[in-house]
């Protein structure tokens, strides 16, 4: 196992305990991350989506890590899912984005909110990698404020037809199925979540968004729905209760992004350590210069602080799942997932910035192993809840409901 990841696994095993089958998942994650190294690097430099990501995850039976074993998954609790994503994060946020969307936003939402029939229909395929999932919440005019979504649905025959635009959708053009959120066209009802088959007539990939400043190996697309049909069996959760589905998915997703950012910091630390102990300037390794040591100290401290913040959020989420009716437990999981995502994404971005600095001029090239982290972690401060939304959530969790400034 990679050394820093092994240290994480050993520490969690010692302090909390991991079962053999959980350790097996993490061994598989380590092998998959190693296998992705070359293709991730090549595709990143070519600025192309990396189709090897789902293939490698499939080969190592890692497409359904959080899916219950009875549906063909690995049955990982949130803490193990976090460790799995930590290791994958060393490969970069492109890998994390794919896995987080497919698993944390996609599979886990179906597992949490789906009927037994929906679970039987989607989860085994998602676990095998026969289905790839996306999450269609964001729109051109609705990001942090899902209340302003413009996508609508209306009854049609035995189901519903959906119309609208979805924007900045990760896995959007490679997904076979996606969770789509829409309001009723008439009647003023609440937001509803649907499970949409992307082969349905009326679903169109408008464009693959390749003009990003990073995250090149992850697919990001704009999608159009022009009367795309979903049957009445494809409502996820209850009609009009889509906000609950959306928010619970984002809670899972935030722990996922935080975990990936921990992996990024690990890779930054590894790369920086190697660079500053081999690069010689002014007659000595640059790591012997005190100002370079300042960067090393920052990355190491950020990593240590964020690792346990993410684990703590994951443990709290596991507690909440054991007692789903407990609102205080759920609120605590929500608060800690926001804190973990907020801190880990900011620390990963600054760690990547400092890693680029340690690499000097070469760090400014996307051929360097750290430039991608610098470019990619920027989006971790935006997607699945911006820094600002996280700050408002965290502040109101301290001050009380009357201070929910984002509502």
Partner 1 sequence: MRLHLDGSTSIDAEKETVFNKLTDVKFIAGTLPDAEDVNIVDPTTLEAKLKVRVAVVTSTLKLRMSIADTEPTSRAKLLAEASGSGSHLTISSTFELTGSRPTTLNWSADAEITGVMAGLGSSILKGFATKKVGEIFAGITKALEAEAA
As annotated, the active-site residues are 384
Among 7, 16, 37, 147, binds partner 1 (CB under 8 A): 37
Helices (H) and strands (E) in the chain, counts: 12, 10
| Nearest-10 crossing angle of helices 52-59, 20-46 | 160
Contact status, residue 227 vs residue 193, Cβ threshold 8 Å: no
CA quadruple 113, 116, 118, 119: dihedral sign = positive
Q: What is the spatial distance between Cα 284 and Cα 269, in angstroms, rounded to a whole number?
A: 20
For residue 227, give the 3-state DSSP assignment. strand
Nearer to partner 1, 78 or 368 (CB): 368
Residue matched to tokens 């990841």: 5
For residue 201, the minimal CB distance to partner 1 (Å) is 38
Using CA atoms, how far residue 407 sits from 101, 327, 367, in Å, is 25, 19, 43
Q: What is the spatial distance between Cα 208 and Cα 125, in angstroms, rounded to a whole number?
A: 25
- 320 part of the interface to partner 1, by CB under 8 A: no
For residue 403, the minimal CB distance to partner 1 (Å) is 46
- 278 part of the interface to partner 1, by CB under 8 A: yes
Only segment of 38-46, 104-112, 296-304, 334-342 that touches partner 1 (CB under 8 A): 38-46
Only segment of 33-41, 65-73, 200-208, 247-255 that touches partner 1 (CB under 8 A): 33-41
Only segment of 9-17, 78-86, 254-262, 274-282 that touches partner 1 (CB under 8 A): 274-282
Only segment of 35-43, 55-63, 248-256, 296-304 that touches partner 1 (CB under 8 A): 35-43
Q: Which two tokens stand for residue 163?
A: 């119309």
- 42 part of the interface to partner 1, by CB under 8 A: yes
Residue matched to tokens 């500053």: 276
Nearer to partner 1, 23 or 45 (CB): 45
Q: What is the spatial distance between Cα 323 and Cα 117, in angstroms, rounded to a whole number?
A: 23
Nearer to partner 1, 24 or 46 (CB): 46
Among 18, 28, 30, 41, binds partner 1 (CB under 8 A): 41
Instruction: Name residues contacting partner 1, limited to 134-163 (CB under 8 A).
Output: none
Nearer to partner 1, 328 or 361 (CB): 361
Among 23, 45, 331, 382, binds partner 1 (CB under 8 A): 45
Among 23, 31, 34, 163, binds partner 1 (CB under 8 A): 34
End-to-end, the C-alpha distance of the chain in Å comes to: 45
For residue 229, give the 3-state DSSP assignment. strand
Contact status, residue 25 vs residue 62, Cβ threshold 8 Å: yes
Contact status, residue 139 vs residue 127, Cβ threshold 8 Å: no
Nearer to partner 1, 369 or 385 (CB): 369
Only segment of 80-88, 105-113, 269-277, 380-388 that touches partner 1 (CB under 8 A): 269-277
Nearer to partner 1, 121 or 212 (CB): 212
- Dihedral (Cα; 280, 284, 285, 286), 10-degree rounding: -90
Instruction: Name residues contacting partner 1, limited to 82-141 (CB under 8 A).
Output: none
Where helices occur in 279-324 by DSSP H, the ranges are 290-322
Residues at the site binding partner 1, with contacts judged by CB under 8 A: 34, 37-38, 41-42, 44-46, 270-271, 274-275, 278, 359, 362, 365, 367-369
């Amino acid at each position: 196992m990679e050394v820093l990841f092994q240290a994480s696994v050993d520490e969690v095993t010692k302090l909390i305990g991991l079962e053999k089958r959980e350790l097996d998942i993490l061994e598989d994650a380590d092998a998959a991350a190693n296998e992705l190294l070359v293709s991730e690097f090549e595709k990143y430099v070519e600025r192309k989506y990396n189709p090897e990501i789902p293939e490698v995850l499939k080969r190592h039976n890692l497409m359904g890590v959080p899916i219950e074993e009875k549906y063909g998954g690995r049955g990982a609790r949130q803490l193990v899912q976090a460790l799995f994503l930590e290791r994958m994060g060393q490969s970069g946020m492109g890998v994390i984005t794919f896995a987080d969307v497919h698993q944390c936003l996609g599979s886990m939402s179906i597992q949490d909110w789906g009927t037994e029939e929906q679970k039987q229909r989607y989860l085994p395929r998602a676990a095998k990698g026969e289905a790839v999932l996306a999450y269609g919440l964001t729109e051109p005019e609705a990001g942090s404020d899902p209340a302003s979504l413009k996508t609508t649905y209306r009854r049609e025959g035995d189901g519903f037809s959906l119309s609208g635009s979805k924007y900045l959708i990760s896995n959007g053009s490679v997904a076979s199925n996606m969770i789509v959120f829409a309001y009723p066209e008439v009647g003023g009802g609440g937001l509803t979540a649907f499970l949409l088959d992307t082969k349905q007539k009326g679903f169109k990939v408008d464009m693959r968004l390749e003009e990003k400043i990073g995250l090149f190996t992850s697919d990001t697309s704009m999608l159009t729905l022009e009367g795309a049909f979903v049957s009445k069996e494809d409502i996820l959760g209850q009609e009009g209760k889509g906000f609950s589905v959306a928010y619970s998915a984002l809670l899972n997703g935030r722990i996922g992004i935080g975990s990936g950012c921990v992996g990024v910091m690990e890779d930054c630390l590894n790369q920086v350590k190697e660079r500053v102990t081999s690069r010689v300037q002014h007659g000595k390794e640059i790591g012997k210069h005190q100002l370079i040591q300042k960067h090393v100290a920052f990355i190491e401290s950020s990593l240590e602080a964020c690792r346990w913040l993410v684990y703590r959020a994951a443990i709290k989420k596991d507690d909440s799942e054991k007692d789903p009716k407990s609102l205080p437990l759920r609120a605590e999981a929500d608060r800690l997932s926001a804190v973990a995502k907020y801190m880990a994404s900011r620390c990963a971005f600054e760690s990547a910035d400092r890693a680029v600095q340690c690499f000097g001029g070469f760090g400014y090239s996307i051929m360097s192993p750290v430039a991608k982290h610098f470019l990619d972690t920027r989006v971790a401060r935006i997607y699945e809840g911006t820094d600002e939304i996280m700050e408002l959530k965290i502040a109101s969790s301290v001050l009380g409901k009357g201070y929910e400034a984002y509502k």
